[in-house]
Amino acid sequence: MIRNILGSVVALAGAASAVLSPFRDWYGGRAGQDYRVADLFEGITPTESGVLVSILLPFLGAALLVVLGVVLRSRLVVALAGLVVLGFTILWMVRQGQAAGSLVVGGDGEGLQVGVVNALAGGVLMLIGALLMTGRRSRRERERKPVEPFAVPAADQVDTWPPTQEPGMSVQTSPWPEPEVDPYTGPDPRDPRDARTRSYPQAAPHPEDDPRDPVHPPHRPPPPPQG
C-alpha cells in the first residue's frame, strides 16, 4: 500500500514536469510548444506551431496514461507513459541535432535549455514511479487465504500439541499424571523355556483365603468299630 502511494506520487510529479516542459525554452530561446509533432518525423522547420499540434500533445497523452495507471494501479501503463515522454524527447533531440548540425549545451540561450531537462526528468520519474508501485494483485492472490502453519486441532480430534507429522494418540490426554506400569510381567506360560518355572511347588493358600468355615469345620465320619 505504501509503495503504491509513493510510486503514484513520483509518477504524477513526472507527468506534471513533462506537461510543463513545452512551455519553457528548449533550444536557442525557442519554446517546446513551437515545435510541431510533424517536425519530429519530417525534420525541424522554423514554422511556428499551434499548442494543440505541438510537442505538448504527446506529453498530455502521457500524463493521462499516468493518471489512468495510478487509478488502476497498473505499473505497465505508468511505465508506458514514461517511455512515450522519453521517446518523443529523444526523437526531438535527434531532429534538432540534424537541423543545427550539432547539439550544444550553453548558458547563453543558444543550446539545450531547461525545457528539455524537464521533459527528460519527467519521463525518468514516471519510470521510477512504475518501479516503486507494487501493482494490482491478481484475483487468485486476493482469494488466497493465509494458512496457519500450526492450527489448533478441534476438541473431537486426537492429535498432539504442538502438532507433529506423526499420527497417533495425544501426548497428554489427561491433566493428571499417568500411573506407572510394573515392567515385570512374569514368565510366559506358553514359552517352553519357562516350563521349569511351572514345576515349582505352589505356596499354600493363606488361611484367610480358605473357603471353609473356620468356626464350624466340616465333621468327619466316625471310624468303623473294631472287631
Nearest-angstrom CA–CA distance, 209 and 40: 121
Tell me the three-class secondary structure of the chain, residue by residue: CHHHHHHHHHHHHHHHHHHHHHHCEEECCEEHHHCECCHHHHCCCCCCCCHHHECHHHHHHHHHHHHHHHHHCCHHHHHHHHHHHHHHHHHHHHHHHHHHCCCCCCCCCCCECHHHHHHHHHHHHHHHHHHHCCCCCCHHHHHCCCCCCCCCCCCCCCCCCCCCCCCCCCCCCCCCCCCCCCCCCCCCCCCHHHHHHHCCCCCCCCHHHCCCCCCCCCCCCCCCCCC
The span from the CA of 125 to the CA of 14, in Å, is 5
**pLDDT at residue 135 tops 60:** yes
Give per-residue pLDDT as tens, 156-182.
655 555 555 455 554 455 566 666 655
- pLDDT number for residue 134: 85
Q: What is the pLDDT of residue 182?
A: 59
User: What confidence tens digit (pLDDT) does each residue in 55-113 have?
Assistant: 999 999 999 999 999 999 999 999 999 999 999 999 999 999 888 887 777 656 677 88
> Which whole number is the average pLDDT over 138-154?
59
Q: Look up residue 90 and give its amino acid.
A: I
CA 122/CA 114 separation, integer angstroms = 12
Q: What is the pLDDT of residue 17?
A: 96
pLDDT value at position 75?
A: 92
Helices 75-100, 2-20: axis angle to 10 degrees equals 30
The pLDDT > 90 percentage for the chain reads 37
pLDDT given for residue 52 in this prediction: 81
Per-residue pLDDT of 3-58, as tens digits, reads 889 999 999 999 999 999 999 999 888 899 989 998 888 888 888 778 788 899 99
